[in-house]
Amino acid sequence: HFEMIKGVGNHAYDDILEIPIIENQRSEAALAPDMERAIKAYPKCNAVLVRRHGVYVWGDSWEQAKTQMESFDYLFEAAVKLHQLGIPSHRSPQEQVISSSCNGKKRNKRRLIEG
């Protein structure tokens, strides 16, 4: 999890951020039904990704929307980089990575922390 998740609004550090993705249409007006369904299905999220187009973000003011967009942009970029490196970006906060050495090689083990 990333601390930056708090910047998107409605989320704490240990929350799971789910962002709906809808298909692009020929016009913005044609996006409205899918956008409405996505907003209703994900009421905690204030963004919708439009495939092969971009992201729509909203807030109570333009300043809030801008701040949230900057946070989403950071999180999207981090997720892409983690994916490129083969590192999962969706590890549970209850899961801990433990580093250990064996025969001079560093190894990572995962352990579920009981809460």
Please identify every residue annotated as catalytic: 3
List the one residue out of 47, 43, 41 whose CA is nearest residue 59. 47
Q: Tell me the HSE value of 76 on the side-chain side, using a 13 A CA sphere.
A: 13
Q: How far is CA 54 from CA 15, 69, 93, 100, in A?
A: 24, 11, 29, 41
